[in-house]
Structure 1
Amino acid sequence: MAAMRMVDIIAAKRDGRALTTAEIDWVVKGYAAGEIPDYQMAALAMAIVLRGMDDRETADLTMAMARSGDMLDLHDIAPLTVDKHSTGGVGDKTTLVLAPLVAAVGLPVTKMSGRGLGFSGGTIDKLESIPGFRTNLSAEEFRRAVRELGLVVAAQSGDLAPADKKLYALRDVTATVESIPLIAASVMSKKLAAGADCIVLDVKYGQGAFMRTLDDARRLAQTMVAIGRHAGRKVAAVLSSMQQPLGFAVGNALEVREAVAALRGTGPDDLVELCLVLGSELVQMAGVRSDADAARTMLVEALRSGAAWAKFRAMVVNQGGDPAVLDEPERLPTAPVQVELPAPRAGFVAAIDGQALGLAVNALGGGRSRKEDTIDHAVGLVLWAKVGTRVAAGDPLLTIHAARQSDVEAVADQLRTAYTIHDAPPPPLPLVEAIIR
């Protein structure tokens, strides 16, 4: 058989042909080994964005990326582990609340998280706004955290789905993020390599999500649940709305503050509700409770009793973070310039463009436009008005947290246009649209 050539594989996908299992394996191995350069992988990624992949190709790509490094097996220390993944949204600090919440009811959580991608923040960047918090853990530290605490949230390690890690960074800077097969394979390769038995997916749709439409989100959810089935894992997907940011805070340290508030019983209703829905799926998949009501009651009690908060604090201490900033969240990084953005007219907030908010936070220094960029953990936005809120002219819509006054001026117009204000109140937005099991 003739040796494979990357240029032929790129051309095949460009022309709409399904790639074989052998071709996909060869590409992933070669790219992970550094034998296939970024520019050829970027060309293939763009061909996939434009031409798509069928379910079999997507499952093959996922398994090849999962096998490109270590396949973590934690069954010797935990008979069952659970994991959660969100497809990314603006103000989405769900992991910070959900992980300690389900760990508090006895489900070991082993989570490998990413950094910010595009306009949505990354859990790792958020956690790193806690002084001293270490997200790069050795395999031994990771396993010890599972064994002793039943909770670990770490950066994706170099030897876990390394092909995905390379491709993820490349897609971010080559406009090849928005492809259902690539997103599904990226998410699920990490989940399969990380070894969790039960996985809940938070698949977001709307202006503030990668999946703009409910149909796209449903397709992505079905693709990922199908991959999980292929791989013999329990997977459920919750379709949740990102037609406005989740909670009120957007930006790394600001979102940590809000997650701490949620764990201490004073958090935003939408954030807490979404965590209860996602957590209930995990509790049921793990067989701890047999129905949604019983699962939810168990989780509400873990929040109310302070068990979930204690678990989060223990995780921060275990990973080198300073617990004093959790006990006094005002000690987290704080932006020197804080300016309110007034409503231009009276009425009801009818829509908020979450993507515009996410891009504004990036412009303030809270995200990356290149993979080597550093992040300012203190900057971001805190919303005062959400969809359905009645405002008078001049009422604050949000507060901009910035490093300098000129940064505020650079994003103010973009933020003003992110808000749509009408005379009549809008219909209420759903939080959870459907659950795919």
Structure 2
Amino acid sequence: MSDALPNAPMDDVICCLDKLNQSASLTATEAAILSRSTTAPVVKAAVLARLLHRPATNIETQLCAQLAAELPDVTATLRSAFPEHCSALSVPTVNPHPRVTRVLRADWTDGAARCADLRAFLDDYVHERLPSHLVAAWLGTVMERGMSMECLHDMTHAMKDSGRTYDYRGAAPLAGRKLVRRYPTGGLSEKAALILPSVLVKAATNIPIASNFLVARSLGFTGGTWDKLSAIPGFRFPEPGDESIEVMSRCGVAMTVTHGDLNPADRKLYQLRSVTGTIESHELIVASIASKQLAVPADHLLLDVRYGEGAFLRSEAEARRCADAMLSVVAEGGVPCSAHLTDTPQPNGMAIGNALEVAEALATMGIGASSDWDARALREQRELVLTFYGLLMLRAHGSATTDAWVIEARGWFESGEVGLAFETLLEAHGVRPQTIDALRQNPFGTLGLSGVHIPVASAREGQLLRIDQRRLGHLVNFGLGAGGNDYGGAFRARAGIRIGFRIGDHINEGQPLCWIFSVEPQVTDEFIVAVKECFIVG
């Protein structure tokens, strides 16, 4: 198997960045990967900014010197902002960027000046008057230094105001309806955002609700519902404004994305965070999520704050702190909200990758053959969606208990009405009836998943003890290309991995731990070994 895997160099880089996120020192090999000519300047800028703010080894000091020489404008600006950290770097011949210097330093004493600088900084970035690698240096700085609550508040509103605000709560066609939405912080194999909208479509037939359901691109090692829905032939996201209102009027739910003039600052920063290893900054998480929610406000927002091995927030304590910050910023912006903390001890299902996750979500909703999937995983996903639905309806219409809402919606799954509601949602978003019929009859074929899939066999007999979700997600998104975006890699909707077992299951030697779905005819032996190492069998 000699063919090179697409995007493998990016996968190497992501592994190095993840090591930085764990506060571990870089090896000489990792420093060489980060400094090579094929590593993107945005990555190098973020790494340089991060290393300058932490105790560095000799290897890291040498890496800083090399990166500083390659990025004179970044170096000049970092030296201007943090002279105490940059004395060992060579003095560039270019001038620092004055506004970026102020944004990096973040030591304003005047709130009006802070707000003006942040807004101008984002406006320059959105309109491509500011190089992306200077913005990446700012992301790296925030990752290491954090951000004050005052700065976080102003950054959130500056991001929201980088485009238009679309407030549908007073729209005449939706009169009398409560707008509800659930939004996650991200997790591996997270498909609630594919399933919950169909429950809301069904509910909207006899309950006065609607949902401007907001979805995003893939981020880091996690998938994005924007990318997953894009794997469905013909699926079209409505434009913000009248078109979204019309879709909500037709089926109760409009799947909303940040295109056009809806929060363009977050659209660009989101993708840049994904390739620079700066996703896990609490402040950047809060600003990204809160700015989107305020740009498309709802009558009630449920934040699904994920934590653990399959999420960006590694512990429950981290998740609680981040949730509190989001609740504060969003509520202060005029959107009532609540939070639910969700643990991620293993993937939320058996599929990782856009089209594969759509296929599993279809089975969860009763479309296609459920026998293709692990019944336990389907049940787990269904119950989680029911929990979210019950919490949303309790907030929007407190006339019944959470349990009562859940019991009613569970019946919709059992009767097949959720699957029918998903078909209604697809039709309202431009999917042709013939495609909907094909998805019902042959989801794998319709989604282009009937091609190459390579089994990865277990090298030993034993119990599946753990799945390295971060590494597995990185391999799918950056190794196979499922998470490619404007800053790194080609986007491949059909790429992914289908897991064969749940944690605690017994595995025989030679049984497939998983199957790799690749758009390439071959993958390297090294990639297969890397996937196998994600499954801990003992």
TM over 0.5: yes
Is 1:219 equivalent to 2:310 in the alignment?
A: no
Deviations 1:168-203 (A, max 9, x none): 222223332221011111011111111212111121
Q: How many residues align structurally?
A: 417
Cα distance between partner residues in 2 of 1:237 and 1:226 = 11
Is 1:343 equivalent to 2:458 in the alignment?
A: yes
Is 1:273 equivalent to 2:383 in the alignment?
A: yes
Cα distance between partner residues in 2 of 1:18 and 1:48 = 19
Is 1:296 equivalent to 2:406 in the alignment?
A: yes
Question: 1:319-358 alignment to 2 at 5 Å?
Answer: 319-321=429-431, 322-328=435-441, 329-330=443-444, 331-334=446-449, 336-358=451-473
Deviates more, 1:398-407 or 1:111-120: 398-407
Change (3 A) 1:283 1:18: farther
Q: Which of 133, 136, 152 is residue 39 of structure 1 equivalent to?
A: 133
Deviations 1:25-46 (A, max 9, x none): 4323442253544333323222
Is 1:48 equivalent to 2:142 in the alignment?
A: yes
Q: Would you say the 8 A contact 2:99–2:121 is kept in 1?
A: no
Cα distance between partner residues in 1 of 2:104 and 2:157 = 23
Is 1:393 equivalent to 2:529 in the alignment?
A: no
Change (3 A) 1:223 1:19: farther
Partner of 2:483: 367
From the two aligned structures, give the one with the greater strand fraction.
1
Q: How far apart are residue 19 of structure 1 and its match?
A: 8.2
Look up the SS of the partner of 1:184 in the other structure. Answer: helix
Cα distance between partner residues in 2 of 1:17 and 1:386 = 51
Partner of 2:201: 103
Which amino acid letter does the alignment assign opposite residue 115 of structure 2? I
Q: How far apart are residue 405 of structure 1 and its match?
A: 4.6
Partner of 2:351: 249
Which amino acid letter does the alignment assign opposite residue 427 of structure 2? V
Gaps of 5+ in 2: 1-96
RMSD: 2.3
Partner of 2:304: 202
Q: How far apart are residue 20 of structure 1 and its match?
A: 3.5
Deviates more, 1:116-125 or 1:200-209: 200-209
Q: Which of 379, 382, 385 is residue 495 of structure 2 equivalent to?
A: 379
Is 1:72 equivalent to 2:188 in the alignment?
A: no
Is 1:413 equivalent to 2:529 in the alignment?
A: yes
Deviates more, 1:253-262 or 1:65-74: 65-74
Q: Would you say the 8 A contact 2:166–2:241 is kept in 1?
A: no
Look up the SS of the partner of 1:406 in the other structure. Answer: coil
Cα distance between partner residues in 1 of 2:474 and 2:454 = 18
Change (3 A) 1:155 1:341: same
- Sequence identity, in percent? 30
Q: Would you say the 8 A contact 2:461–2:509 is kept in 1?
A: yes
Cα distance between partner residues in 2 of 1:173 and 1:379 = 18
Q: Which of 114, 120, 125 is residue 23 of structure 1 equivalent to?
A: 114
Deviates more, 1:36-45 or 1:304-313: 36-45
Q: Would you say the 8 A contact 1:199–1:235 is kept in 2?
A: yes
Partner of 2:266: 164
Is 1:10 equivalent to 2:93 in the alignment?
A: no
From the two aligned structures, give the one with the greater helix fraction.
2
Change (3 A) 1:176 1:21: farther
Cα distance between partner residues in 2 of 1:296 and 1:279 = 7
Cα distance between partner residues in 1 of 2:313 and 2:507 = 29
Q: How far apart are residue 262 of structure 1 and its match?
A: 0.8
